[in-house]
Amino acid sequence: MSTVTPSVARAKKSLKQDVYDHPDFYQIDSLLTDEHKLIRTSIRDFVKKEISPFIEDWAQRAHFPFEIAKKFGEIGAFGPTIPQEYGGGGLDYISYGILMQEIERGDSGMRSTASVQGSLVMYPIYKFGSEPQRKKYLPKLASGEWLGCFGLTEPDHGSNPSGMVTHFKDLGDHYLLNGAKMWISNSPKADVAVVWAKDEKGRIHGLIVERGMPGFSTPETHGKWSLRASATGELVFDNVKVPKENILPGKSGLGAPLMCLDSARYGIAWGALGAAMDCYESARRYAAERIQFGKPIGSFQLVQKKLSEMLTEITKAQLLVWRLGTLMNEGKATTPQISLAKRNNVQIALEIAREARQIHGGMGITGEYSIMRHMMNLESVVTYEGTHDIHLLILGNEITGIPAFT
């Protein structure tokens, strides 16, 4: 005999089937093109088929499904804004946002893999790389044949990457790289790492380091309670000889990695909203099906308040990313505008996950629902790519003209 009540059983069934559809209270879909909607349909179908049925098991086992990289490559999730001649999608920034939103609706760790590959590995190679570098790396990264990672953060330099100590010396026919990076998404499985390091004058440059170069290792970080289906690790450089043709020639200085972060943070603003919408939709369905005191819990005012506030914040966040996307397409979006959207949307996603967890009662802490996984994932998302407070300070600097970082 089943130990669950009929209403809980119905709610469980609806999750297994992944019946997700997005809320669109302000008819924001009418601002999208047919191509945008087609992209959304195909990536949503992909997530329902390739991620939803397995993600709970991957997260519980802290397993990164390496094979997902090739599948992401096949559907064009890697480097959607990179020109097609290099294997990218040649799409606009709204399309990129939609891709990130639908993938993170499935899981933030899966979106991490896609944003790192596209915005933090392919983007710098495309933007700052030489033509031979673009031709060598971009098509293989776009197809998912190679997986990449981005090494900026160090054990003693997180929010303040300008203090990094990883460095390289010019030894005539090669560079000699030493140092370590920490908290690097994809690192344990990456074939290629875009690494930010200082030259002998203290100027920051990007170097492409390949797996197999002697002295280069990528130990995995274990014991995470967040982003469990994403592989995180270190990058250790012990006298690594990096060929001279592997330096990114197009831009040096901290501005180069910060430009990459602009692109990735933009994708996160869309992505976190995807996680929020998944939590909201799950809570809305559960509230209609779960009976307490002889009525659906959705009939109680306090539950309606939670759902109404969730929908309000989701609608505001949808308008924010749509407008930011149009500014990105026009090349007009600024770093503080991106900070505002990343900070706001991750924060509202965390709050919505917590409220949705309450609506699910005890069931909300189980893996039967995606809520708790989203909530724990979002604790990383609110920290990486610039913490919640660093984005606040970027805005404070914009408003006052006075940097308050130090």
Question: Based on the number of CB atoms within 10 Å of its own CB, is 315 exposed (0-12), middle (13-18) or buried (19 or more)?
Answer: middle
Question: Which of 76, 118, 151, 188 touches ligand FAD by CB under 6 A?
Answer: 151
The region, left, alpha or beta by phi > 0 then psi within -120 to 50, assigned to residue 207 is beta
Task: Give the one residue of 119, 153, 337, 345 binding ligand FAD; rule: CB under 6 A.
Answer: 153
Give min distance, CB of 24 to ligand FAD, in A. Answer: 31
Total number of residues shown for the chain: 406
Residue 383 interacts, among ligand FAD, ligand TGC, none and using kind-specific CB cut-offs from 5 to 8 Å, with ligand FAD
CA angle 387, 393, 396 (to 5 degrees): 150
Burial label for 287, CB within 10 Å (0-12, 13-18, 19+), is buried
Residues in contact with ligand FAD, shown as a per-residue x/- string from 91 to 130 under the rule CB under 6 A: -------------------------x--------------
Helices (H), 290-381: 301-329, 335-359, 371-381
Site string for ligand FAD, 157-186 (x = CB under 6 A): -xx-----------------------xxx-
Residue type, 396: G
- Cα 265 vs. chain centroid, distance in angstroms? 8
Please name the helix (run of DSSP H) or strand (run of DSSP E) that holds residue 209, with its range, or none: strand 204-210
133 is an interface residue for ligand FAD by CB under 6 A: no
Interaction of residue 371 with ligand TGC, rule CB under 6 A? no
- Picking from 195, 201, 116, 205, the residue whose alpha carbon sits closest to that of residue 152 is 195
Q: Which of 176, 213, 376, 390 binds ligand TGC (CB under 6 A)?
A: 390
| Least Cβ distance, residue 156 to ligand FAD (angstroms) | 8
Structure-block tokens of residue 374? 């989203």
**DSSP per position, 343-361:** HHHHHHHHHHHHHHHHHTG
Instruction: Check if the beta carbon of residue 378 is closer than 8 Å to that of residue 346.
Output: yes
Q: Are 106 and 51 in contact (CB under 8 A)?
A: yes
List, in sequence order, every residue forming a beta bridge with 170; answer none if it has no partner. 175
Closer to ligand FAD by Cβ: residue 153 or 337 = 153
Closest to ligand FAD by CB, 146 or 286: 146
Residue among 213, 128, 231 nearest 174 (CA):
213
Judged by CB under 6 A, does residue 246 bind ligand TGC? no
Comparing CB distances to ligand TGC, the nearer of 153 and 347 is 153
Find the part of the chain contacting ligand FAD (CB under 6 A) among 203-211, 263-271, 312-320, 384-392.
Answer: 384-392
Return the residue of 119, 232, 282, 345 that touches ligand FAD, per CB under 6 A: 232
Nearer residue to ligand FAD within complex by CB, 62 or 311: 62
Interface residues with ligand TGC (CB under 6 A) are 112, 115-116, 150, 152-153, 159, 161-162, 185, 253-255, 258-259, 261-262, 335, 384-386, 390, 394, 403, 405
Interface residues with ligand FAD (CB under 6 A) are 116, 149-153, 158-159, 183-185, 227, 232, 380, 383-385, 387, 389-390, 393, 405
